[in-house]
Amino acid sequence: MRLTATQLADFRTQGFLILPELFSRAEVDVLRAEAARLFAEDTPANIREKISGEVRTVMGLHLRSEVYARLCRHPRFVEPARQILGTDGLYIQQAKINAKVAFTGEAWQWHYDFATHHAEDGVPEPLALNLHVFLDDVTEHNGPLIFIRGSHLGGPVATALDTQTTSYALWTVDNETVAQLAKTGNLVTAAGPAGTALIFGDCLVHGSPPNMSPWGRSIFSVILNPIANAQTRFARPDFVHHRDFTPVVPLADDCLLTAPARVTT
Amino acid sequence: MRLTATQLADFRTQGFLILPELFSRAEVDVLRAEAARLFAEDTPANIREKISGEVRTVMGLHLRSEVYARLCRHPRFVEPARQILGTDGLYIQQAKINAKVAFTGEAWQWHYDFATHHAEDGVPEPLALNLHVFLDDVTEHNGPLIFIRGSHLGGPVATALDTQTTSYALWTVDNETVAQLAKTGNLVTAAGPAGTALIFGDCLVHGSPPNMSPWGRSIFSVILNPIANAQTRFARPDFVHHRDFTPVVPLADDCLLTAPARVTT
């Protein structure tokens, strides 16, 4: 799979791409079935909401699941990432599902990914790409990602560590900066049916509101980073920021549908 | 101003009407200038957010402002209300502005207006109409009202008093009921530019998410209730539920633009 010249130009100017139907219903069904199993596990790699105790993020996915190990190496993710970054030397920096349970899923503050990976893990440059696929239909009502279009264009903006708002410490962008960026770029809701994919860069400012709707929404995310740009500090657990710099090699296009059925013991 | 047969039919089946551009930019400017003055007043009729202390709701408007006294009697509100309810005997039950300050405006839980006015004030039947006009552009991003289409059709659903979630005690609808109603009717974002009006009924379930955007949103609301259906309990302050049952008489269509300029002393 190759991005078109228009898609590449859009990515450069907007900072993101929304790719409807990148994954089929059958592929989403495989991912959803496997997600249910992973959410039920009792592990520190499952981060819980402060208030409700519901699982908010399931981390370290490619080490916990053959299906998600394959998804991280899916050619519909890896090939566009190689194309955008101009290198085949990419590794898996983070692989997770962010869930927002119906009625209770909490907000993600305004932030960009590089701020946290730079401050916490010493990633040198804002090169990594965040690749998502929706495991549920995502609408304006169930806590979608909101992108500030073009907010990456000036490079990394100032951030501060927020350990209070939610159960996951995050380097966030202040209100004044968000207001200034949104005035120029406006806000874009990243919505679409299950199977829709997103690609966005390490400096794109985004956030997401709480989910007050009766519909849960889970989104898979893999961050691919150039090996030459790997972390230089190793303080956080591996499931938050992986330290295996083996290059990702794309699998066959049908790799999700041929994944071996899990043997239940 | 008369609603069309289609609008009336839509109101009956959906439970609400969205009327873009019902008020002009010039009229909105008059309302906004006056709102700024009212927000700055130090009075118990200005309800504040629990966390930020920002004014969340400005109540008792028609007793505090000539401009808003006129808006409550505006023919573009009163005539459709008379038409829908089939009576000229309507009084002002509540007149307020609900604000959601940029970045900090809090949610309104899922509720319908009648539950609170029935439980707290002894209003007998769910007949009152809630008429809104947007004082700011309202989008999916800055905490719009979300309607559950058709949620009024079965009559009042069960509610419970929530005194915890926000700074305003409200009789709210439980998650299971919301899920059931939304499955049938889906969710509708009530968005539109400043000057857009809404009309919705006393049993329509609605809520609104927090405002994480950099854009504030204020919405004026007047509730008109048939005098024959007036409150039977008088425990809450007058600014929350008015006890003057004088019938509302519509003014001239240009009444906002001819309102006397306020003399600043």
Half-sphere exposure of B30 (CA within 13 A, CB side): 21
Q: Which of residues 159-188 of A touch B (CB under 8 A)?
A: 175, 178-179, 182-183, 187
| B76 in Cβ contact with B217 (< 8 Å) | no
Residues B73-83 as b or e (16 or more Cβ within 10 Å = b) = bbbbbbbbbbe
Closest CA to B95 of B223, B191, B205, B262: B223
Q: What is the pLDDT of residue A262?
A: 63
Q: What is the pLDDT of residue A216?
A: 96
Give the nearest partner residue to A179 out of B207, B210, B214, using CB atoms: B214
Work out the angle at residue A227's Cα, subtended by the Cα atoms of residues A225 and A228, and round it to the nearest 5 degrees: 110
| B27 in Cβ contact with B257 (< 8 Å) | yes
* Paired tokens of A158: 């100032």
Q: How far is B22 from chain A (nearest CA, A)?
A: 25
Instruction: Tell me which of A183 and B168 has the higher pLDDT.
Output: A183
> Distance between CA B74 and CA B172 in Å, rounded?
30
pLDDT tier for residue B265 given thresholds of 50, 70 and 90: very low
- One-letter amino acid identity for B173? V
> Distance between CA A83 and CA A126 in Å, rounded?
16
Nearest CA in chain A to B178: A214
Averaged in consecutive runs of 10 residues, what is the pLDDT profile of chain A (265 residues)?
95 98 97 95 90 89 96 98 98 96 92 95 97 98 98 95 82 96 96 98 97 97 98 91 95 94 55
Which is it for strands A46-48 and B145-148: parallel, antiparallel or unpaired?
unpaired
Averaged over B148-155, what is the pLDDT? 97
Nearest CA in chain B to A174: B103
* Paired tokens of B94: 């509540």
How many angstroms separate the Cα of B36 from the Cα of each of A137, A179, B33, B102, B215?
40, 21, 5, 15, 16
* Paired tokens of A238: 């591996």
Determine contact: B86 vs chain A, CB below 8 A: no
Q: What is the pLDDT of residue A53?
A: 84
Q: Which of residues 20-79 of B touch A (CB under 8 A)?
A: none
Average per-residue pLDDT in chain B?
94
Closest CA to A138 of A216, A73, A203, A79: A216
Determine contact: B144 vs chain A, CB below 8 A: no
Put simply, the answer to whether A214 touches B141 (Cβ < 8 Å) is no
Query: Mind listing the pLDDT tens digit for each residue in B212-247?
Result: 999 999 999 999 999 999 999 999 998 889 999 999
Q: How far is B179 from chain A (nearest CA, A)?
A: 5
The dihedrals phi and psi of B198, each to the nearest 5 degrees, come to: -125, 145
Pseudo-torsion of CA B45, B50, B53, B58, nearest 10°?
A: -20
> Distance between CA A110 and CA A206 in Å, rounded?
5
Tally of CB atoms within 10 A around B1: 14
Q: How far is B177 from chain A (nearest CA, A)?
A: 10
| B170 in Cβ contact with B109 (< 8 Å) | yes
| A110 in Cβ contact with A205 (< 8 Å) | yes
- One-letter amino acid identity for B175? N
Non-local CB neighbours of A146 within 8 Å, separated by 6+ positions: A187, A188, A189, A190, A206, A207, A208, A209, B141, B212
The dihedrals phi and psi of A177, each to the nearest 5 degrees, come to: -65, -45
| B133 in Cβ contact with B195 (< 8 Å) | yes
Non-local CB neighbours of B62 within 8 Å, separated by 6+ positions: B68, B69, B71, B72, B92, B95, B222
ipTM of the complex, rounded to two decimals:
0.90
Averaged over B6-11, what is the pLDDT? 97
DSSP H helices, B73-211, are 75-85, 113-121, 175-185
* Paired tokens of B28: 């909105």
Looking at beta carbons, which residues of chain A come within 8 Å of B191? none
Token pair 């509708």 is found at B188
Give the nearest partner residue to A141 out of B103, B139, B187, using CB atoms: B187
- One-letter amino acid identity for A47? I
| A190 in Cβ contact with A146 (< 8 Å) | yes
| A104 in Cβ contact with A71 (< 8 Å) | no
CA dihedral (A117, A123, A126, A127) positive or negative = negative
